[in-house]
Amino acid sequence: MVNKIAKLIDLVQKLPENCLDEAIEFLSAKIDESADNMPPPPCPHCKSESAKRNGRKDDRQRFLCKNCGRSFGETTNTAISHSHYGEAVWKQVIRDTLAGLPIEGTATSMAVSHSTAFNMRHKILLALEAEESRKPTVLNDVCEFDDTYVLESYKGIKFSDDFWRRPRKHGAVAQKRGISNEYICISTGVERDGEAYSKTVTRAAPGKNDLIDAFNGHIGTEALILCDGATSYLGLGESCDCPVTNVCEDGTKGGKGFYNINTANSFHSFIKERYNQYRGVATKYLNRYNVLFSKVFRCGGDLADEIYNLLTSNDTPRHHSVYDVKNLNLLDI
């Protein structure tokens, strides 16, 4: 999809100087017209729909609830509260995030600072993570479970002289052979014809308790769990009271026919592809991205409108500050 914001910025940069005032006046009039035609939204405090306009603050329309008497703005209690940017910019940042564009690519195309693009992306990720906690993904029917691994990353951190290892360049390999503690495990479960879920709880190969922690509350009682020989997955069947089939030990030999985990392997390939497109993900933020990977995998439609509606919904407080972006729900393993 064409980045309309980048195209608009490019056009403005090509305008003759004597046309800038006219362009600014035209765009300002359009913004005012849009604000004037906007009906009062429901009150985020009492949910009443009896609100009226109540002047402007910082060039933004305010409303007054006739029921509870409290003042509010269009984005009060939403994930984009206090943002300087409107719908078009947020939707483009969402599309860049869904498409796997690095943060620096978004910052450059939108003519915003790297920190602004970073904060906007992670507010989107936090909103998705909070929604996943509020309405957990539950896997049912035939489900495939397996692990994939990515190298640990301290992206964005300047190493001290006494740090335990030297910095790595993008695309570097681990110092140790095999699945060592340099690798971060992403445990995944995916329905053959439906939802996907991924979470990180440990380094290297996960144990029985690690997998139970990762999938607690995310496996339905009607699920058939297919795995590829890792005995630690047998604990999932015990914890959620559903059958587990080891495709490597099944009579069909080698995981052929019905008993295979090709869908899980496809999900792993998708995760690795997106991980590389983002030029790596700092390990402490990995679970935020795991929610995104799970939501986007096998989704054929444009999720931008759905995610934007989530960001602007005020049915529950969704705002996250810059402090939350840097400190909330970090992965510490």
Q: Lowest-confidence range among 57-71, 189-203, 245-259?
A: 245-259
**What's 161's domain CATH number?**
3.30.420
Residue 293 lies in a domain: no
In the chain, the number of structural domains is: 1
Residue 64 lies in a domain: no
Residue 142 lies in a domain: yes
Residue 243 lies in a domain: yes
- Calpha distance 178→163 (Å, rounded): 23
Query: Residue 280 contacts by C-beta under 8 Å, 6 or more apart in sequence?
Result: 153, 155, 170
pLDDT tens digits, one per residue of 121-164: 999 999 999 999 999 999 999 999 999 999 998 888 887 878 77
Residue 307 lies in a domain: no
Range(s) of the domain holding residue 283: 137-287
- pLDDT given for residue 257 in this prediction: 59
Q: Lowest-confidence range among 62-66, 92-96, 159-163, 186-190?
A: 159-163
Give 1's pLDDT tier (boundaries 50, 70, 90): low
- Calpha distance 187→206 (Å, rounded): 8
Q: What is the mean pLDDT of residues 238-252?
A: 71
Residue 19 lies in a domain: no
Residue 220 lies in a domain: yes
Residue 300 lies in a domain: no
- Calpha distance 275→145 (Å, rounded): 20
